[in-house]
C-alpha cells in the first residue's frame, strides 16, 4: 500500500463531475436479462464461481449490445480480474482497442443449479446492463511516461517519481493491493491540478510524503494505476478517510471515458 505521511485525515472531495462534449455524446445501449454461468469445480468456490458467472454475464451483455470484435479480450481481462492479477489490464495497450464497455449493471437474479449434462454444481447470474459504445479511437498524439518507480520498496520508504505528457491533462492515481483499493491522488492535501504538456513534473507536487507500507504480513504487492485524462473528469466514487473504492468501480470509471480522452499506465512493485 501507499499512504500519506500526514497527521490529518482525508475528507471526501466535494467537486462536480465534469464531462467533455465527446464523453457525454457517446451512445448507451441498455441490455436486459444477460445471463452468465460458471461451474463450482476443483478449487473454485461458490463465491468465485458467482464472480465468474457475473463476468460472463457482462460479456454476454457486450455481445448483445454489438461489441463483438474484441470480445475475447474482455473475457481475458475479466479472467485476470478474477485472479486478482491486474497486469493484463494495464501492461498492454489491448484495453485501448475495445469498442465498448459496461457502464453500470444491476444483478436481476443469481442461483445455484446442477448442470444437466455434467451433473456439476453451477452458479447462474442474470443482469441488466448499460453498455457504452465508443465512437472514437485512442489519440496517437496523447502519450505519457511515468518514470522512477522502483520494483521493490522497504516499508516506510518514500515513493516519488516523474511524470511527462505530450498534452495538457489531469491525473488520478489508484493503489490496489490484496487488502486495499483506494484513490491515492488527488486528495485533501494534493489538489487536482493540470499536468502541463512537454514538461517533466515531479510527484508529489506539494509538501507531502507518500510512504510504502504493507497491508498484511510478508511481502505486499502494490499495483498503481495512473489515469490521465484531457478533461478534469473527477473520480468521486470513494468513501472514508482513505478514499476507499473497488477495482471494479475503477475499471468501470476508466472505460466510461472515451478512448481518445484518456491514457492509462500501470506500475507494480513489492513492499518488504
Looking up residue 52, the CATH number of its domain turns out to be: 3.30.1660.40
Q: Which of 204, 192, 201, 138 is nearest to 165 (CA)?
A: 201
The count of domains in the chain is: 2
53 and 157 fall within a common domain:
no
38 and 7 fall within a common domain:
no
Burial class (CB in 10 A: 0-12, 13-18, 19+), 42: exposed
160 and 115 fall within a common domain:
no
Strands (E), 86-156: 100-114, 121-133, 144-147, 152-153
**Structural domain of residue 14, as residue ranges?**
2-22+138-271
202 and 116 fall within a common domain:
no
13 and 59 fall within a common domain:
no
CA separation for the pair 149, 145 (Å, rounded): 11
Residue 79: per-residue pLDDT: 64
Q: What is the helix (H) or strand (E) element at residue 66, kind and residue range? A: none
Cell numbers for 241:
478517510
Q: What is the pLDDT of residues 198-233, one digit of tens each?
A: 999 999 998 788 999 887 778 888 889 999 999 999
172 and 124 fall within a common domain:
no
216 and 254 fall within a common domain:
yes
Residues of the chain predicted below pLDDT 50 = 5-23, 92-94
Residue 64: per-residue pLDDT: 92
Residue 83: per-residue pLDDT: 60
CA separation for the pair 271, 220 (Å, rounded): 5
CA separation for the pair 233, 216 (Å, rounded): 33
202 and 256 fall within a common domain:
yes
Q: Give the angle subtended at the CA of 257 by the CAs of 252 and 260, to the nearest 5°.
A: 140
Instruction: Read off φ and ψ for residue 153, nearest 5 degrees.
Output: -125, 145
Alpha-carbon distance values, 218 to 138, 181, 224 (Å): 39, 18, 19
13 and 69 fall within a common domain:
no
CB 199 within 8 A of CB 167: no
* pTM of the entire predicted model: 0.77
Residue 11: per-residue pLDDT: 27
Question: Strand, helix or coil at 138?
Answer: coil
Amino acid at each position: 500500500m501507499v499512504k500519506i505521511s500526514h497527521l490529518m485525515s482525508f475528507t471526501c472531495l466535494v467537486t462536480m463531475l465534469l464531462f467533455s462534449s465527446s464523453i457525454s455524446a457517446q451512445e448507451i445501449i441498455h441490455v436486459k436479462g444477460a445471463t452468465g454461468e460458471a461451474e463450482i469445480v476443483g478449487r473454485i468456490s461458490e463465491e468465485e464461481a458467482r464472480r465468474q458467472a457475473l463476468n460472463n454475464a457482462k460479456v454476454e451483455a457486450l455481445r448483445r449490445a454489438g461489441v463483438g470484435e474484441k470480445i475475447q479480450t474482455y473475457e481475458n481481462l475479466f479472467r485476470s480480474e478474477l485472479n486478482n492479477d491486474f497486469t493484463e489490464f494495464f501492461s498492454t495497450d489491448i484495453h485501448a482497442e475495445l469498442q465498448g464497455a459496461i457502464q453500470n449493471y444491476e444483478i436481476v437474479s443469481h442461483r445455484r443449479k446442477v448442470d444437466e449434462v455434467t451433473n456439476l454444481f453451477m452458479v447462474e447470474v442474470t443482469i441488466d446492463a448499460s453498455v457504452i459504445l465508443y465512437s472514437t479511437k485512442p489519440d496517437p498524439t496523447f502519450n505519457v511516461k511515468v518514470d522512477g518507480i522502483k520494483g521493490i520498496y522497504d516499508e516506510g520508504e518514500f515513493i516519488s517519481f516523474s511524470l511527462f505528457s505530450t498534452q495538457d491533462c489531469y491525473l488520478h492515481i489508484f493503489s490496489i493491493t490484496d487488502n486495499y483499493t483506494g484513490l491515492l491522488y488527488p486528495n485533501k492535501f494534493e489538489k487536482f491540478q493540470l499536468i502541463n504538456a512537454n514538461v517533466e513534473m515531479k510527484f508529489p507536487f506539494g509538501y507531502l510524503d507518500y510512504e510504502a507500507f504493507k497491508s498484511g504480513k510478508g511481502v505486499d504487492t502494490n499495483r498503481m494505476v495512473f489515469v490521465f485524462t484531457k478533461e478534469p473528469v473527477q473520480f468521486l466514487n470513494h468513501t472514508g478517510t482513505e478514499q476507499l473504492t473497488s477495482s471494479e468501480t475503477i475499471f468501470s470509471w476508466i472505460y466510461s471515458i472515451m478512448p481518445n480522452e484518456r491514457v492509462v499506465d500501470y506500475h507494480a512493485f513489492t513492499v518488504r
